Amino acid sequence: MKRAALLIVVAVLCLPCHLSAQTNQANSIQQAILGTWKLVSYVREDLPSGAKSDVMGAHPSGYINYCRDGRMIVIIVGSDRNKPAGAVATPDEAEALIRGMLAYAGTYSIDSQAKTVTHHIDISWDQSRTGTDQVRSYKLEGDRITLTTEPSTDPATGNKTVRTLIWEKLK
């Protein structure tokens, strides 16, 4: 009986330390991702075949920003976008420009145990994403963060894919 009571006391005393360590880890991750990151690469892996390809050309451009207030915004444009021939884009040019980009904004939350960041999308260039939660696994290495999507249907190909984005922190 005394041994059981002692174990309960030890467990209760250690719980705040364990929770504090988890909170410190979450705060550390939160601090590490704050700021603006520039896109380095954006690669799709087709799950049925394992084939890898650039999602938006060999040299896409983009930024993602995580703010202290829990908001985030991302924009990515493909490397093969062409400026319209005239002052106003033709319908075909406008369609190509829209297809060559992605952008959304909302809030974000971090699960440091699962090593995921979830983008809670409030507004998007693609209305089908508005109101959704996009879960990304993260890996922090120095001034780079790798974000990897869960397996999902690729909007461009219709195949099950995983997309991996590597970002470099701006200083």
Average pLDDT over residues 35-57: 95
The tokens describing 113, both together, are: 């145990």
Full-model pTM: 0.82
Helices (H), 58-127: 91-99
Residue 131: φ, ψ to 5°: 85, 5
The tokens describing 117, both together, are: 């960041």
- Residues 36, 63 contacting (CB under 8 angstroms): yes
Residue 72: pLDDT band with limits 50, 70, 90: very high
The helix or strand, by DSSP H or E, that contains position 150, with its residue range, turns out to be none
- Residues 117, 26 contacting (CB under 8 angstroms): no
Question: Is pLDDT above 60 for 4?
Answer: no
Residue 23: pLDDT band with limits 50, 70, 90: low
Query: What pLDDT is recorded for position 68?
Result: 95
The tokens describing 116, both together, are: 């995921």
Query: What pLDDT is recorded for position 43?
Result: 96
Task: Output 77 or 24, whichever has higher pLDDT.
Answer: 77
The tokens describing 41, both together, are: 């690469």
Question: Is pLDDT above 50 for 117?
Answer: yes
